[in-house]
Amino acid sequence: MAATTSQASLLLQKQLKDLAKHPVDGFSAGLVDDSNVFEWQVTIIGPPDTLYEGGYFNAIMSFPQNYPNSPPTVRFTSEMWHPNVYSDGRVCISILHPPGDDPTGYELASERWTPVHTVESIVLSIISMLSSPNDESPANIEAAVDLCSEFLADVLAQKEWRETRDDFKKKVRRLVRKSQEML
């Protein structure tokens, strides 16, 4: 286990160093605490030409000890209203789901986590999610079973996205303004 943790730590240090040398438009990343390479603070800038444009949304990426064999979790700490984000801020996108076959049969194994993903590819996928919500899959089914109240909130976000886009847009605009005021 110590060797796996050490390898994960070295890989995360390398990815952090690479991002510092070659910053990527649309987000910034750093450690929450300099003594823990397994927890990152990420700020995602709302993508241009989307409802989220101009917003600054903070998230925590928590990496498992066996990274990159298992995916990190990503949770927005800024308020977020999106069909693919649980009410507690957790992001639900395919590449953050455990590798292998999907027990629900919804996702292909090739859409799920693979060890080739990096912090950069994860955050770019989240930016893409903000640009193009997946209203066919409002939430992770496993999480829905465990967390019914969160699932219901996500279903409501999906319903609002589909049926009342004006209300959805107003909520998102309010969140963008709120995120800008936090700076």
pTM of the entire predicted model: 0.82
92 is catalytic: yes
Are 76 and 46 spatial neighbours (Cβ–Cβ below 8 Å)? no
Listed by start position, the domains of the chain span 2-181
Are 92 and 85 spatial neighbours (Cβ–Cβ below 8 Å)? yes
The per-residue pLDDT of the chain, averaged, comes to 85
pLDDT computed for residue 74 by the predictor: 98
Of the pLDDT bands very low, low, confident and very high (cuts 50, 70, 90), residue 167 is: confident
Of the pLDDT bands very low, low, confident and very high (cuts 50, 70, 90), residue 140 is: very low
pLDDT computed for residue 106 by the predictor: 82
**Catalytic member of 44, 45, 92, 129:** 92
Does position 148 have pLDDT exceeding 50, yes or no? no
pLDDT computed for residue 158 by the predictor: 65
| pLDDT tens sequence across 13-66 | 999 999 999 999 999 999 999 999 999 999 999 999 998 999 999 999 999 999
Amino acid at 74: V
Other Cβ atoms within 10 Å of 4 Cβ, number: 13
Given the candidates 3.40.50.720, 3.10.110.10, 3.30.1780.10, 3.40.50.300, the CATH classification of the domain at 2-181 is 3.10.110.10
As a whole number of angstroms, the distance between CA 107 and CA 103 comes to 9
Nearest alpha-carbon partner for 26 in 99, 94, 127, 101:
127
pLDDT computed for residue 133 by the predictor: 78
